[in-house]
Amino acid sequence: MFGIDAAELVLILVLGVVLFGPEKLPEFSRKAARVFVAVRDIANNAQNQLRTELGPEYADLKLQDLNPKTFVAKQFKDEIAAIDEARRDLMAAGQSIKDEATAATAAVKGATAPDDEAEEPAIEGDEDQAKLFFAPPPSAPFDPEAT
């Protein structure tokens, strides 16, 4: 009901009997029911008044919709649906691109597989020169007094 378990309801009833006694308990329960109905009527009247003042575009407004997060989601659900559809399309396109890239990589590896008969390309010049050419440049010396 209101987040009250059966055990909690029994505990409330036992406390009511102990505090008010069995003679006054029916009277207090009737008063509590009247208060509950009055509060519910006040809430319904406020909700109806809010609907009439906001106009026909908010005719289906509920009190739960006044939470900013749900209010925005309800008002922009078409835009959110369009964004979700675009996201799904982009995910599908990304997956197809990934599949095509995998297929192209496999095709390139298959086309450029080294043959046993093919000769190694000869490097002109000394191997040490090639290492120097492709080596990263030396870093600058560290100066602790530099600012």
- Can you tell me the distance from the alpha carbon of 50 to that of 58, in angstroms, rounded to the nearest whole number? 9
CA dihedral 75, 78, 84, 87 (to 10 degrees): -120
Domain ranges of the chain: 8-63, 67-107
- Can you tell me the distance from the alpha carbon of 47 to that of 59, in angstroms, rounded to the nearest whole number? 10
- Which of residues 7 and 128 earns the better pLDDT score? 7
Helix 68-75, helix 77-111: angle, nearest 10: 70
- Can you tell me the distance from the alpha carbon of 49 to that of 53, in angstroms, rounded to the nearest whole number? 6
Q: Write the CB contacts of 9 (distance below 8 Å, at least 6 apart in sequence).
A: none
Question: For residue 84, how many other CB atoms are within 10 A of its CB?
Answer: 10
Q: What is the pTM (predicted TM-score) of this model? A: 0.36
Task: Note the pLDDT of residue 144.
Answer: 82
pLDDT tens digits, one per residue of 44-90: 898 888 888 887 777 776 767 677 887 777 778 888 888 999 999 99
Q: Write the CB contacts of 17 (distance below 8 Å, at least 6 apart in sequence).
A: 25
Task: Note the pLDDT of residue 25.
Answer: 81
- Can you tell me the distance from the alpha carbon of 125 to that of 67, in angstroms, rounded to the nearest whole number? 75
pLDDT tens digits, one per residue of 118-144: 555 555 556 667 676 777 777 878 888
Q: Write the CB contacts of 59 (distance below 8 Å, at least 6 apart in sequence).
A: 51
Proportion of the chain above pLDDT 70, given as a percent: 82
Task: Note the pLDDT of residue 93.
Answer: 95
pLDDT > 80? residue 2: no
pLDDT tens digits, one per residue of 79-116: 888 899 999 999 999 999 999 999 999 888 887 765 55
